[in-house]
Amino acid sequence: MNYTHLGRTGLKVSRIALGTMNFGELTDEAASFRIMDEALGAGINFFDTADVYGGPQSPDMEKGYGISEEIIGRWLAQDGSRRGRIVLATKVYQPMDTGPNDKYLSAYHIRRACEASLKRLKTDHIDLYQMHHVDRATPWEEIWQAMEQLIREGKITYVGSSNFAGWDIATAQCTAAARHLLGLASEQSLYNLTQRTIELEVIPALRYFGIGLIPWSPIGMGLLGGVLGNKIAKGRRATPNLQQRITRLRPQLEAYEALCDELGETPSDVALAWLLHNPAVTSTICGPRTVEQLQQNLHALTLKLSEETLAKLDEIWPGPGGEAPKAYAW
């Protein structure tokens, strides 16, 4: 396993992170345990979850949120040595109940949400506490005050963000600096060959501030997993939205899957390897539903793409034209 620093911090994490959104919803507890066993055995030390994972992600529906954290907590409780071998990351923001203060990033909710996550995870600290989304209705002074308090109490170590725009990252960092805080250690963003918008402003902001990038949805919700040549097009992911995207992107998908065939590699591995070739990427989230899927993902760590292949991928899946403002101005 390869490891790298999480942004400008001294913390080292595996280049592949175990995403656990499927735990409790699509993957039962026994299978989740096997996946975590396999991940730890393979050297993956970065486990990512969220307080809302494990169900429909809405308290207005059948209760299921929090299940992923609970599964991880029970797995950690099986062996006391496991907690010290992983970097444990979770998130706060999404609604966890139907009350007006049971969501977002008020100091009130952050404190209560952290306590609840610690209880579900059966641990006394969270290594990376991530804001699941930006909350522009809450002042940054309040957010950082809440995070700083949790750090002082030893309940969290690092703070991260997810789904932030470039200017959100800059605003957060400037406010943190005024309080003499480290600020953000990482940002989780939607990033894959089909969705490259963050190359405009998010990646430049992360590079400037020394913040690690953790892409989520590396294979585009299955679109880059060989969707034309396997059961994904007819399976559980065959949503109307996915079918529309397949229709719209069919020429590109055909070219992409043909290129992967030439390379003798699976489309999902090529998609992961493409991300790992980017120096801005710290670790990419992989959310396997089975041990076999996890084992397949690990191959991407050793897959080296030539400059010619990278150029061909850019031709098939062009980005936004570079970084702002050069992408659209002189």
Beta strand 284-286 with 184-190 is unpaired
- Beta carbons of 55 and 323 less than 8 angstroms apart: no
The H or E element that residue 149 is part of is: helix 140-152
Q: Which two tokens stand for residue 240?
A: 């109307």
- Beta carbons of 273 and 299 less than 8 angstroms apart: no
Residue 129 annotated among the catalytic residues of the structure: no
Using CA atoms, how far apart are residues 315 and 214, in angstroms rounded to an integer? 24
Q: Which two tokens stand for residue 172?
A: 């957060």
Q: How many CA atoms lie within 13 A of 163 on its CB side?
A: 11
Q: In degrees rounded to 5, what are phi and psi of residue 129?
A: -105, 115
Q: In degrees rounded to 5, what are phi and psi of residue 257?
A: -70, -30
Q: How many CA atoms lie within 13 A of 139 on its CB side?
A: 4
Helix axis angle for 291-298 and 29-41, nearest 10°, is 20
Residues written for the chain = 330
Residue in the structure block whose two tokens are 């994972």? 53
Using CA atoms, how far apart are residues 305 and 277, in angstroms rounded to an integer? 8
- Beta carbons of 18 and 36 less than 8 angstroms apart: yes
Going by C-alpha positions, the residue among 66, 72, 58 that lies closest to residue 29 is: 72
Region class of 37: left (phi > 0), else alpha (psi between -120 and 50), else beta: alpha
Using CA atoms, how far apart are residues 217 and 105, in angstroms rounded to an integer? 24
Using CA atoms, how far apart are residues 183 and 222, in angstroms rounded to an integer? 33
User: Choosing from 53, 93, 158, 256, which is the catalytic residue?
Assistant: 53
Which residues are known catalytic residues? Answer: 53
